[in-house]
Amino acid sequence: MAEYYVGNKEYFPGIGKIIYEGPKSDNPLAFKYYDAEKKVGKKKMKDHLRFAIAYWHSFCADGSDPFGAPTHPHPWIVDAKSPLEAAEHKLNAAFEFFTKLGAEFYCFHDRDLAPEGESPAESEKNLFALAAKAKKLQKATGIKLLWGTANLFSHPRFMNGAATNPEFSVVALAAAQVKAAIDVTIELGGQGYTFWGGREGYMSLLNTDLKKEKEHLAKFLGAARDYARKQGFKGVFYIEPKPMEPTKHQYDYDVETVAGFLRYYGLDKDFRLNIEANHAELAGHDFAHELETAAALGLFGSVDANRGEPRNGWDTDQFPTSYYETALAMYAILKVGGFTSGGLNFDAKIRRNSIDPADLFEAHIGGMDTFAVGLEIAQRIIDDGKLSAFVKKRYASFNSGDGAKFDKGELSFEDLAKLGSKYGKAGITSGKQERLENILNQYLLGL
């Protein structure tokens, strides 16, 4: 990756390139554990983790919440004379941030990059203008687009949904927006395209034809996929599950729900899952559960890395801080062979009262360090093999004899029942959960 370069204005003065200083460093603007070039297993840390920065949280969100006005005085907005000029400042600031931090990827919604115009045509014009500038910056810095997406939830026209809107004209407007977002993603070499169905769900069943809406969603996704493929898009389409918020119920509730939906509508060949830690928690699952479920179904794709606040149940999108959680997540990811076109996108925001420019850096440094530690622990678990050996042994009765026949589908239910009567008593063994938890804690502290 090239050294910091964007243009003539520095938006984060006084902050240089963030480097690895090691665990003993007390420099808040240095990595303690993330050492990009360090080999872990067969790959460098940076190639395992494929960190991406979420444009929306880091450069668009302003600290406002339902109870209060903006608190983040972004230097790139303050001195802009028009929305387009502001967007250009924001883009330059973003690339300055990516290069100083040393993250190789970013992700955006169309409306993060460029402002909405008076008409779809003007919105597209704005988007293509900013994308042309982003392309130059990507070339100059080596930063890549992990995935693009369209914001189909902020504009009032989407209050009843986008692809699932009861009004056909809104569905068509959503398609116009997605078409342009796909075009721009292709133009910028995006490795993926994400659909997060923020308002694809309902607030009340009393006014909703659920069956129709789900069918419309499937038709919309299939048509978008066909369009992108026709344009030469070779990347992966992601669905990002979330159970609710802003809707009462989102159709893409969790991994299992989306997997069923994709298979029912024949979309499972092109679509994979983008799994977000905080969304898993809102659906009542562990982050690792969602990752393992997607892996088991052959649908694992990418990750939105963040965390929730377990006691309040909102999508707080905080930066990851738990080694325990990142170790289990990275263990699930390494077991499935690691990322291919996906990566770890920090869909996370600094708090409303984090108002120093350095806070954005420190937040990401902490998130990257937390995942680097998680990666090293996961690699130790794999190298040591104790946990996988235990799991393998636990299912050993299926390796030969009648167990193996069952696995291959060679036993009828009558055969199975006959064998049950023959065995008479069951071979019960301890699950050894406590021992395994103790071993996991040893790995955690063994770094």
Residues with catalytic function: 109, 112
376 belongs to the binding site for ligand XUL (CB under 6 A): no
254 belongs to the binding site for Co ion (CB under 5 A): no
Residues 265-304 that bind Co ion (CB under 5 A): 276, 304
Q: Considering CB distances under 5 to 8 angstroms, the limit depending on partner class, which of Co ion, ligand XUL, none binds residue 325?
A: none
**At its nearest, how many Å lie between ligand XUL and the CB of residue 177?**
13
- Exposed (0-12), middle (13-18) or buried (19+): which is 5, by Cβ within 10 Å? exposed
**At its nearest, how many Å lie between ligand XUL and the CB of residue 24?**
35
Tokens of 412: 């009828």
Q: Per-residue x/- mask for ligand XUL, residues 379 to 398, rule CB under 6 A? A: --------------------
Grouping H, G, I as helix, E, B as strand and the rest as coil, residue 25 is coil
Q: Residues 301, 338: contact at Cβ < 8 Å? A: no
Distances (CA, A) of 61 to 53, 82, 363: 13, 18, 15
242 belongs to the binding site for ligand XUL (CB under 6 A): yes
347 belongs to the binding site for ligand XUL (CB under 6 A): yes
Residues 253-292 that bind ligand XUL (CB under 6 A): 276
240 belongs to the binding site for ligand XUL (CB under 6 A): yes
323 belongs to the binding site for ligand XUL (CB under 6 A): no
- Spell out the residues 6+ positions from residue 156 whose beta carbon is closer than 8 angstroms to its own: none
Distances (CA, A) of 8 to 4, 5, 93, 103: 12, 9, 11, 21
**At its nearest, how many Å lie between ligand XUL and the CB of residue 362?**
22
Q: Which is nearer to Co ion, 36 or 236 (CB)?
A: 236
Q: Which is nearer to ligand XUL, 20 or 108 (CB)?
A: 108
Judged by CB under 5 A, the number of residues near Co ion is 3
Distances (CA, A) of 181 to 127, 224, 372, 442: 8, 11, 32, 46
**At its nearest, how many Å lie between ligand XUL and the CB of residue 54?**
7
Residues 345-364 that bind Co ion (CB under 5 A): 347
**Single-letter residue type at 423:** Y
Q: Which is nearer to Co ion, 89 or 349 (CB)?
A: 349
Residue 171, CA atoms < 13 Å, CB-side half-sphere: 19
- Spell out the residues 6+ positions from residue 244 whose beta carbon is closer than 8 angstroms to its own: 201, 250, 282
Q: Which is nearer to Co ion, 276 or 376 (CB)?
A: 276
Residues 178-197 that bind ligand XUL (CB under 6 A): 194, 196
Q: Select from 243, 309, 237, 305 the least CA-distant residue to 54.
A: 305
The span from the CA of 343 to the CA of 304, in Å, is: 8
Q: Considering CB distances under 5 to 8 angstroms, the limit depending on partner class, which of Co ion, ligand XUL, none binds residue 200?
A: none
Q: Which is nearer to ligand XUL, 304 or 376 (CB)?
A: 304
Residues 93-152 that bind ligand XUL (CB under 6 A): 109, 149
Q: Which is nearer to ligand XUL, 347 or 376 (CB)?
A: 347
Q: Per-residue x/- mask for Co ion, residues 304 to 343, rule CB under 5 A? A: x---------------------------------------
Q: Which is nearer to ligand XUL, 31 or 98 (CB)?
A: 98
**Single-letter residue type at 425:** K
- Exposed (0-12), middle (13-18) or buried (19+): which is 82, by Cβ within 10 Å? exposed
Look-up: residue for tokens 């959960």? 433
Task: Report angle CA 56, 59, 65 to the nearest 5 degrees.
Answer: 70
Residues that bind Co ion (CB under 5 A): 276, 304, 347
Which residues contact ligand XUL (rule: CB under 6 A)?
109, 149, 194, 196, 240, 242, 276, 304, 315, 347
